[in-house]
Amino acid sequence: MMLSAHTAPCSGLAPARRPCQAASRPSPSASHRARATISAAAAAAGPWGRAESFAAPAGGIAAPAAAGPRRAARRAAVAAAAAASPDGVLDTVIVGAGISGLVTAQALATRHAGEVGSFLVTEARERVGGNITSMAGGGYVWEEGPNSFQPNDSMLAAAVDAGVADKLVFGDPTAPRFVFWEKKLRPTPSGLDAVTFDLMSLWGKIRAGLGAVGIANGSMPESEESVEQFIRRNLGAEVFERLIEPFCSGVYAGDPSKLSMKAAFNRIWILEKMGGSLVGGAIKLFQDRKANPPPPRDPRLPPKPKGQTVGSFREGLKTLPEAIGAKLADRVRCNWKLTSISRDAASGVFTLRYDTPSGPAELRARSVAMTLPAWALADLIKAQAPAAAGALASFDYPPVAAVTLAYPNSAVREDRKAADGTVPGFGQLHPRSQGVTTLGTIYSSSLFPGRAPSDEIMLLNYIGGATNRGVKDATTEQLAAQVDKDLRTMLLKPDAPQPRIVGVRVWPRAIPQFNVGHLDVLDTAKKGLSSAGLEGVLLGGNYVSGVALGKCVEYGFEFAGEIAKYVAANKAGSGAAEAAAPPREAVGAA
């Protein structure tokens, strides 16, 4: 379950220091005093406190303009970037130091150094990590953006390359997951209980089985199907209404009647296309893998967790981007806000212009890897590539709020507790038809160790999405009150004490929606860039890869390969022309 997201910190707590972050922070004692003061004020204001909800500006937080030009600093910044490039032209610039950009950069450094000898990562905000927002304070560790990841080999490889594999933590694969249906939290099927679980009726299970083997799924239409159309046709109404609809809300915060099955859940969609049914496709996929086994697994990787689980790091997801940022060191430039990009048709070299803390600066590169949100890139290129900008701007990013609340363990209903008094489980999802506003709830303190005091349960709740856009205008108190009301309907005792508001963060534009037509629109954007003379602007980020954190990381490795291939071809095809061009200092005028 989810996401990507923006904040109202509880008790004035701020994220831990991250690479590139501005150094002017209060001392620990000053921070402690500030937290104590705000906590006292919140207590006096009532049970909801006065935590304030605010969002970072579009495209990240830009650095303030320097008081005057600092020529030496700008020379040093660009000199470090172009050290491996005698002509002052970088092989690539990666725009955006979120997880997509960072993993791409790390993969270039560790796997493609031969093809890409010089690169730089630029980020408009003061820190790396993008929407990964791990917070800590008061005995709590919580996430206000993405919460966890599927531990695929790409994710594990990124952790190994960054030197933080020993900090990985995984959830208990046997922990139950729940869906709220007909006034009861019901476990989802997991293995042997797939026949006996009570979330679906006997007929619903039979219908799903018949469709899965191709007896009751009809023919695959030529037109692109929504998730709702595909699931209803293949598996029936109950699977859609009780499993897939809440899952779409939990992962995409989306509307399954609009989400594209092909774009959003391609690995399932392709099964029917391959084998005529979901089971037939799975059998064919197994046969293909047996005939063409994958390469041996990287021996450096830790063992894959058994069963279906999720992962994080002991101190939160921020561990990975911080570690990558530290390893990349001077190859990352934070507080660099890209203001324009142009390409010389003769040499194929791009010029990127930035506002930086030291004043205007320029970089020159053979390629540009854009990992900005689609809407931010659209704003940047709308004058020179209107067709591409129009396509990118059409991607929908609905608002989502991440609301983290803590309660004493005694507040949880007894039938939800284990014998030792703990609350087992990953979390719960809520179909819209069940009268609950909150999309889903993650049992953060049960999922990973050390996330809350032992006598409390900490719950991360997501609210908003494509069908509830009003959250962007709601106050912290309103959001917390709505979530608390929903929890009392499902998980908590009606007379549970008021919660501690650990954190509330509202993301005005949270998750790109992979709606029907998404892949065609993405193709239009790529063609629009090329026709506008911006060939070599390569698109990455979660609107390309998929929204799950693991998908972003997985695509980061693929994107690095795409960049390396482009750079190698560019050097081979235009190396002579570039060599003849006079070198120039890649710094803006003083």
Extract the tokens encoding 458.
Answer: 């900490």
**Is 514 strand, coil or helix?**
coil
Angle at 248 (CA atoms; ends 242, 251), nearest 5 degrees = 130
Is the per-residue pLDDT at 4 higher than 50? Answer: no
Q: Are 133 and 7 in contact (CB under 8 A)?
A: yes
- 418 close to 172: Cβ distance less than 8 angstroms: no
Q: Is 191-291 CATH 3.40.50.11260?
A: no
* Mean pLDDT within 557-561: 98
pLDDT digits (tens, 9 = 90+) for 467-489: 999 999 999 999 999 999 999 99
Per-residue model confidence (pLDDT) at position 196: 79
Q: How confident is the model at residue 71 (pLDDT cuts 50, 70, 90)?
A: low
Q: Residue 438's closest CA among 389, 473, 404, 409?
A: 404
pLDDT value at 537 more than 70: yes
Closest to 93 in 3D by CA, of 335, 392, 338, 386:
338
pLDDT at 205: 94
Note the pLDDT tens digit of each residue in 417-472: 998 888 999 999 999 999 999 999 999 999 999 999 999 999 999 999 999 999 99
Q: Which of 391, 380, 367 is CA-nearest to residue 124? A: 380
Query: What b/e string do you get for 7-41 counting C-beta neighbours within 10 Å, with b at 16 or more?
Result: bbbbbbbbbbebbbbeeeeeeeeeeeeebeebbee
Instruction: Copy the structure tokens of residue 586.
Output: 């890649």
Residue 381 contacts by C-beta under 8 Å, 6 or more apart in sequence?
Answer: 341, 388, 389, 529, 532, 534, 537
Residue 6: its pLDDT value, please? 32
pLDDT of residue 421: 84
The helix/strand/coil state of 200 is: coil
Look at residue 60 and tell me whether its pLDDT is greater than 80. no
* DSSP codes, 228-295: HHHHHHHH-HHHIIIIIHHHHHHHH---TTTBBHHHHSHHHHHHHHHHSSHHHHHHHHHHHHHHSPPP
Q: Which of 486, 488, 496 is nearest to 401 (CA)?
A: 486
Cα–Cα distance measured from residue 475 to residue 452, given in angstroms and rounded to the nearest whole number: 25
The amino acid sitting at 115 is E
Mind giving me the DSSP string for 538-583? EE-SHHHH-SSHHHHHHHHHHHHHHHHHHHHHHHHHHHHHHHHSPP
- pTM of the full predicted structure? 0.84
- For residue 80, pLDDT over 70 is answered with no
Residue 153's H or E segment, with its range, is helix 153-162
**Residue 75 pLDDT level (bands cut at 50, 70, 90):** low
> Dihedral of the CA atoms 332, 104, 512, 528 (nearest 10)?
100
The DSSP element (H or E) to which 231 belongs, if any, is helix 227-235
Angle in degrees, CA 69, 75, 79, rounded to 5: 160
- 491 or 575, which is more confident: 491
pLDDT for 19 equals 59
Q: Which pairing describes strands 537-539 and 368-370: parallel, antiparallel, or unpaired? A: parallel
* pLDDT value at residue 195: 73
User: Residue 323 pLDDT more than 60?
Assistant: yes
| β-sheet bridge partners, residue 156 | none
pLDDT of residue 86: 66
Percentage of residues in the chain with pLDDT exceeding 90?
A: 76
> Is the pLDDT reported for residue 162 higher than 50?
yes
Tokens of 570: 């560019």
Contact 497, 411 (CB under 8 A): yes
Checking if the pLDDT of 27 tops 80, the result is no
CB-based contacts of 437: which residues, under 8 Å, 6+ apart?
463, 468, 482, 486
Q: Residue 197's pLDDT is what?
A: 87
> 71-126+335-395+514-580 in CATH: which number?
3.50.50.60
Domain with CATH 1.10.3110.10 in the chain: 191-291
Any idea which of 190-204, 393-407, 518-532 has the lowest mean pLDDT? 190-204
Q: Which residues make up the CATH 3.90.660.20 domain(s) of the chain?
A: 8-55+133-150+168-174+398-507
- Taking 60 as the threshold, does the pLDDT of residue 23 lie above it? no
Collapsing DSSP to helix, strand or coil, 312 comes out as: strand
Q: What Rg value do the Cα atoms of the chain yield, rounded?
A: 25
Task: Identify the pLDDT of residue 574.
Answer: 61
Q: What percent of the chain has pLDDT over 70?
A: 82
**What is the tens place of the pLDDT at every residue in 329-374?**
999 999 999 999 999 999 999 999 999 999 999 999 999 999 999 9
Structural tokens at position 366: 């053979």
User: Where exactly does CATH 3.50.50.60 map onto the chain?
Assistant: 71-126+335-395+514-580
What mean pLDDT do residues 490-510 have? Answer: 97
Question: What tokens were used for 154?
Answer: 């790409």
Residues 5/400, Cβ–Cβ less than 8 Å: yes
Is the per-residue pLDDT at 583 higher than 50?
A: no
Of 503 and 61, more confident: 503
Higher pLDDT, 524 or 220: 524
Confidence of residue 16 (pLDDT cuts 50, 70, 90): very low
User: What is the spatial distance between Cα 20 and Cα 328, in angstroms, rounded to a whole number?
Assistant: 11
Quick one: pLDDT at residue 39?
31
Determine contact, residues 460/452, Cβ cutoff 8 Å. Answer: no
Name the residue type at position 414.
E
**Mean of pLDDT over the chain:** 85
Residues forming beta bridges with residue 180, ordered by sequence position: 185
pLDDT at residue 576 in the model: 39
Instruction: Please list, in sequence order, all residues whose beta carbon lies within 8 angstroms of the beta carbon of residue 332, skipping any fewer than 6 positions away.
Output: 19, 20, 97, 105, 120, 121, 122, 123, 128, 325
Q: What is the pLDDT of residue 218?
A: 86
At the top level of CATH, the class of 8-55+133-150+168-174+398-507 is alpha beta
Task: Tell me what the mean pLDDT of segment 275-300 comes to.
Answer: 94
What's residue 238's pLDDT?
A: 97
